[in-house]
């Protein structure tokens, strides 16, 4: 399996992503503007909140949400360094010698995003009162 060359070179492009729309359980392709590097793409979330979505472009599946675009880029760099089959169109075939490292990286970023999303900035910590 060939590794994705790092550091990634990001280019602004228009590409299609699959999004569930409407009340019918179907996926529709939507054209979005974003950044593309190798098998990864980043685009602003359609649902607001200022999030950016990191996707696996060949399979058009979401990898993760990130509050900042730079966090999504950083995650993509770490994912790209893993020796797995990034160029497949089938999500389940993204496997290789570094499959466990993918799980670890995803867990790290998922934990950071859940901490960030649950933090209530309007509450004053007990120590400051």
Query: Looking at the domain assignment, is residue 99 inside a domain?
Result: yes
Query: Looking at the domain assignment, is residue 128 inside a domain?
Result: no
Number of domains present in the structure of the chain: 1
Query: Looking at the domain assignment, is residue 126 inside a domain?
Result: no
Query: Looking at the domain assignment, is residue 104 inside a domain?
Result: yes
Give the mean model confidence (pLDDT) for residues 72-80: 93
C-alpha angle with apex 119: 118 to 120, nearest 5 degrees? 110
What pLDDT, on a 0 to 100 scale, did the predictor assign at position 19?
78
Answer left, alpha or beta for residue 24, where phi above 0 means left and psi between -120 and 50 means alpha: beta
Neighbouring-strand partners of residue 33: 14
Query: Looking at the domain assignment, is residue 129 inside a domain?
Result: no
> Which residues touch 129 (CB under 8 Å, ≥6 apart)?
none
Average of per-residue pLDDT values in the chain:
81
Query: Looking at the domain assignment, is residue 6 inside a domain?
Result: no
Q: What is the pLDDT of residues 78-122, one digit of tens each?
A: 999 999 999 999 988 999 999 899 889 988 887 766 544 444 444
Cα distances (Å, whole numbers) of residue 22 to 19, 25, 26, 27, 28: 10, 8, 8, 9, 10
pTM greater than 0.85 (yes/no): no
Query: Looking at the domain assignment, is residue 116 inside a domain?
Result: yes
Query: Looking at the domain assignment, is residue 106 inside a domain?
Result: yes
User: Which of 30-34, 46-50, 85-89, 105-109 has the least mean pLDDT?
Assistant: 46-50
Domain containing 100 equals: 11-120
């Amino acid at each position: 399996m060939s590794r994705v060359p790092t550091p990634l070179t990001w280019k602004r492009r228009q590409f299609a992503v699959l999004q569930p729309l409407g009340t019918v359980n179907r996926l529709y392709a939507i054209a979005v503007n974003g950044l593309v590097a190798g098998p990864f793409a980043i685009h602003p979330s359609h649902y607001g909140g200022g999030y950016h979505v990191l996707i696996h472009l060949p399979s058009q599946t979401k990898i993760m949400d990130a509050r900042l675009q730079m966090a999504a880029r950083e995650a993509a760099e770490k994912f790209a360094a893993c020796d797995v089959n990034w160029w497949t169109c089938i999500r389940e075939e993204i496997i290789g010698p570094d499959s466990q490292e993918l799980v670890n990286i995803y867990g790290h970023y998922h934990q950071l995003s859940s901490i960030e999303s649950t933090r209530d900035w309007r509450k004053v910590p007990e120590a400051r009162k």
